[in-house]
Structure 1
């Protein structure tokens, strides 16, 4: 194996692709580095489930020969990726984080997987997810509870838990995740990675989901430009997703290289009068002040009078997922995560009239949010109001609402609102707690302005870089 195995030697996506293209790194060396990192850290952190070591190495050997011959399959030629185990992968097991799915092997790739392969990526393995992506914590009966690389006693967040862990622990240059209520942004904030939930439909999703009006697919990366490159590759319509948006009219990566135009920014220290941990509030406030001083922006602190759409989200989430999965799993309830089984049981409390009312309330809340962007270009707020809690818990100890059907939504009230509205929303690392835990700043744009969000985040990254920081688990 490659002997240069220090964690800092794991390149970003753009760095890896460039080194392979220029002959300074081979796909074999990169895959070997990833496999060693997984072997070293996965037993502690629980990022990966299935790892395709032999197949990935064989593919890497072929792609190394191709690169030496001057042939490239695409912009990701030879770069290994981790794939959240919710995405369908042809011929590769997709458990969806459930004991009921241990024998599920799809026959067709999801569009996002097909596009990744067409760009030359190597599928290294499947990353951990909570059962059917139901919770924002990192508990899993299939993979083991996900653990935060900054402190393995704490949660990584979910449901794209393994994807965020794998990126932060330098197991792979990047991963794919999904976000139905915060599932890339929550672990992105807890683990100190960059995660953008694009506009609804920006990256096509398939198979169909009972919560399709909330569900987004996207990458988790160490840098903004890596994410922009992947959005360039993964975006665009696909006949399998009726919600998919038209192809972008510009390159997201190219936009990140352009000077930032003057922007009008609303800054909300909180939403819905939610108490924010003082450590988080201080770090976000400091980041906002730094932005105001260094970038061409006008920032206005706002207190928004929006009503918390938790009841709307719960109805769509529980009614959609609970009824759809409950019908399919009626004879396997004993195999389910207790929290997900409870969600299915509670779905019986919802009726068609209540569900249609939630659909109407979704539209009303979205109208309020979209109206904000008649005045402002971006909205800044904390990604989460809390720091990571114990890895074996689904909610912080004593947190209000932890006995509800969607207990995680009560401690992440700043993420799911933008799944309801479909706005692009990113979590950007913006600082650390005194104990060394990452803190996330959420950047929300008006609908369809994913390029604006990425360009702003790239400008922030330039004045406050974070990728040089390594979690303690990698430096011991």
Structure 2
């Protein structure tokens, strides 16, 4: 097995043919986690013994010609916001450090039913509140392309673990960009599907923004994974009927209309981000023989709408707790800020969200896909919430100031993917965001699979090739300090 082949599709074929055992694959993942996690801080819990036992069981079944499903024996990392029965779900918070739910989230269960082996939990910002990779509980999650820099968040560890080739795929969630931001910073693929395409459970105070989905090294891998996890679940009242589409299908309509927005809301895009994205768009226009025309949506920045829903929602869910001292300073500040909103302000934001979403849907009367940068800035220091010197328009959510291209599509519910499209002069990945009309998830995925044939092929962080460097990244919180390797599910 080579690093280039460390993908779901390649591993699936190798296990099916008998040229690779699940035990060998899991051992490889565990070895890479053990070597690289002290650098990257992507995993908060690892289930070594349990994962190896499951792998051996998968190998016995395969030897008898029995396969659990399309992910038979392939390990995965699960963001530590997803419930898994009987295992810690710490949510990046001291307040939940001992919490173990009794039920498993639908997305996790569907992957397990398809044969995947959960190898551990990946780091996240506290309750998924921030778009950076900084955590007072786990310590900062670092970018495999440069460990001085942030992975992005809040699916921090899920993206960093992929980029470092610790696991073939991971699970993440996205309420304002939380799979797309770290995917762009770490050079991996992630799609936030249409709202409800993948069931999200348990209930979230920002359910109208919240999405769940897989993250992977390629759109082709994610196409298979989305085929497995999409479809309704009775616990999520927003979940959509299965669209019946095969997301591995790559056919594109001949009359495809594509718009390209170099920026939104007049935001200044970092020159290197702009250059890489424009070059990628030019390559795709020629390689796919499609017409990509510039568009300038006349939308107003909905940052106020988003923040009202995001902050006030957290206040409803957590503000009634008498003791907020167990929450980190960032999340605690968010909960405390929720007191400034009343019911009238919240309902006004709900109404404004509907109007803004309508303006996005109107654009897709004229185009089938919209291309734009995923994030307009390069990764910044790992222990920061925003680039140094950046002045955010928000007093509470600094991260929304530098992520103006992701949260709009949470407000509208459109499918939006981040596709690696090149490297800056600093050797850092850039994400091309591909947005489709609501419920056109299969089209977004088909375009991304076609596009990845022509941009950013097989680029791997030097760290993932060379291995870890001792001494990098001691977590700031002693409770998250890496002290030993164990299989109990506690911090290691």
TM-score interval for Structure 1 and Structure 2 normalised by the shorter chain = over 0.9
| Structure 2 residue 97 is matched with structure 1 residue 102 | yes
**Residue of structure 1 equivalent to 2:298:** 305
- 8 Å Cα contact 2:252/2:447 also seen in 1: no
Deviation of 1:326 after TM superposition, in Å, equals: 2.1
| Structure 2 residue 172 is matched with structure 1 residue 177 | yes
Give the alignment partner of residue 186 of structure 1, picking from 162, 181, 190. 181
Name the CA distance, whole Å, in 2 between partners of 1:296 and 1:340: 47
**Residue of structure 2 equivalent to 1:389:** 380
CA distance 1:274–1:259, shift in 2 (3 Å): closer
Q: Gaps spanning 5+ residues in structure 2: where?
A: 467-492
CA distance 1:313–1:116, shift in 2 (3 Å): same
Name the CA distance, whole Å, in 2 between partners of 1:259 and 1:449: 12
Structure-to-structure mapping, 1:171-320, within 5 angstroms: 171-253=166-248, 255-256=249-250, 258=251, 261-320=254-313
**Residue of structure 1 equivalent to 2:405:** 414
Tell me how many residue pairs correspond in the alignment. Answer: 466
Q: Could you report, residue by residue, the CA deviation over 1:84-117 in whole angstroms, capped at 9, with x for unpaired residues?
A: 0000000111001111111110110011111111
Q: Could you report, residue by residue, the CA deviation over 1:262-312 in whole angstroms, capped at 9, with x for unpaired residues?
A: 310111000000000000101111111111111132211011110000000
**Residue of structure 2 equivalent to 1:137:** 132
Q: Could you report, residue by residue, the CA deviation over 1:416-445 in whole angstroms, capped at 9, with x for unpaired residues?
A: 000000000000011101110000100000
Q: Which moved more, 1:353-362 or 1:142-151?
A: 142-151
- 8 Å Cα contact 1:262/1:296 also seen in 2: no
| Structure 2 residue 14 is matched with structure 1 residue 19 | yes
Give the alignment partner of residue 463 of structure 2, picking from 464, 470, 473. 473
Structure-to-structure mapping, 1:104-183, within 5 angstroms: 104-183=99-178
Q: Could you report, residue by residue, the CA deviation over 1:450-469 in whole angstroms, capped at 9, with x for unpaired residues?
A: 00000000110112243x11
Name the CA distance, whole Å, in 2 between partners of 1:377 and 1:29: 43
Deviation of 1:472 after TM superposition, in Å, equals: 1.6
Name the CA distance, whole Å, in 1 between partners of 2:115 and 2:318: 34
* Matched residue SS, 2:291: strand
| Structure 2 residue 83 is matched with structure 1 residue 88 | yes
Deviation of 1:8 after TM superposition, in Å, equals: 4.1
Name the CA distance, whole Å, in 2 between partners of 1:378 and 1:146: 32
Name the CA distance, whole Å, in 2 between partners of 1:457 and 1:248: 19
Name the CA distance, whole Å, in 2 between partners of 1:69 and 1:96: 39
Name the CA distance, whole Å, in 2 between partners of 1:83 and 1:211: 21
**Residue of structure 1 equivalent to 2:318:** 325
Name the CA distance, whole Å, in 1 between partners of 2:253 and 2:89: 41
Q: Could you report, residue by residue, the CA deviation over 1:222-243 in whole angstroms, capped at 9, with x for unpaired residues?
A: 0111101111000000100000
| Structure 2 residue 66 is matched with structure 1 residue 71 | yes
Q: Could you report, residue by residue, the CA deviation over 1:328-383 in whole angstroms, capped at 9, with x for unpaired residues?
A: 4x31x222221111111110000000000000000000000000000100000000
**Residue of structure 2 equivalent to 1:49:** 44
Name the CA distance, whole Å, in 2 between partners of 1:58 and 1:299: 51
Name the CA distance, whole Å, in 1 between partners of 2:51 and 2:136: 26
CA distance 1:222–1:136, shift in 2 (3 Å): same
**Residue of structure 1 equivalent to 2:417:** 426
**Residue of structure 1 equivalent to 2:488:** none
| Structure 2 residue 327 is matched with structure 1 residue 336 | yes
* Matched residue SS, 1:279: helix
- 8 Å Cα contact 2:280/2:421 also seen in 1: yes
* Matched residue SS, 2:432: strand
TM-score (norm 1): 0.96
Deviation of 1:316 after TM superposition, in Å, equals: 0.1
Name the CA distance, whole Å, in 1 between partners of 2:289 and 2:14: 34
